[in-house]
């Protein structure tokens, strides 16, 4: 089970925060295939957000093939995002830790490091076509319309 943490001041749409947190849990192995996601009622009872937001996030995850809704039962994880390379004891992590030490030795502070990492991330092409924020506001709008039409 995951627990969502909604930050109302982050500027990130609430449903995206849920999508990201589920993905994060999938990456870290907190959620594994077959696990049940909390129901919309459980989520809103804990976070006091609009239930449609939760359902929209679950739809998004469903669309990406990460979860599936089984009518009357709930929403279940279909596949994991955990990769060997991202685990806590992976060689990649050790390398990154070593790089951090060198950066600190070179006099960079926390914000310098963050800016550097962000700029390298920006210049690197990943295979995800949608970018880190899952599309712009127009895409969000389009999804709302689909939601309207299908119920």
Partner 1 sequence: MTDLTFLPDRTALEAAGLGVRYRRGGWALRACSFRLPAGRVCALVGPNGAGKSTLLALAAGLLRPTEGRLRVLGGEAGDPGVRPRVAYLGQDRPLYPDFTVAETLRLGRELNPGHWDQAAAERLVHGGNLSLHARVGSLSGGQRTRVALALAFGKRPELLLLDEPMSDLDPLVRHETTAALMAEAAENATTVLMASHVLAELDAVCDYLLLVSDGRVRLAGEIEDLISAHRLVMGRYEDAGTPREFAAHTIVEARTTGRQLTALIRPDGPVRGHWEIAEPSLEELLLAHLRAPGAPALLTPSAEPRTPLDASPKAAA
Which of 107, 108, 128 is CA-nearest to residue 117?
108
Q: 14 vs 5, 42, 84, 87, 113, CA distance in Å?
A: 10, 16, 29, 27, 28
Contacts to partner 1 from residues 90-129, by CB under 8 A:
none
Residue 135 CB, nearest approach to partner 1 (Å): 12
Q: CA 27, 111, 124, 128: dihedral to nearest 10 degrees?
A: 30
Based on CB atoms, which residue is closest to partner 1, 109 or 138? 138
Binding of partner 1 by 5 (CB under 8 A): no
Where do contacts with partner 1 occur on this chain (CB under 8 A)? 6, 8, 11, 14, 39-41, 44-56, 58-59, 62, 69-75, 137-138, 140-141, 144-145, 147-149, 151
């Amino acid at each position: 089970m995951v627990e969502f943490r909604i930050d109302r001041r982050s500027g990130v749409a609430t449903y995206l925060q849920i999508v990201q947190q589920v993905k994060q849990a999938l990456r870290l192995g907190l959620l594994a295939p077959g696990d049940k996601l909390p129901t919309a009622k459980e989520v809103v009872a804990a976070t006091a957000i609009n239930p449609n937001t939760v359902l929209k996030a679950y739809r998004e995850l469903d669309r990406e093939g990460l979860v599936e809704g089984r009518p009357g039962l709930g929403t279940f994880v279909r596949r994991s995002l955990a990769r060997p390379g991202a685990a806590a004891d992976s060689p990649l992590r050790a390398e990154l830790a070593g790089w951090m030490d060198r950066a600190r030795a070179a006099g960079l502070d926390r914000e310098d490091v963050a800016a550097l990492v962000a700029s390298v991330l920006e210049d690197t092409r990943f295979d995800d076509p949608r970018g880190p924020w899952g599309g712009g506001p127009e895409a969000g709008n389009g999804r709302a319309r689909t939601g309207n039409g299908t119920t």
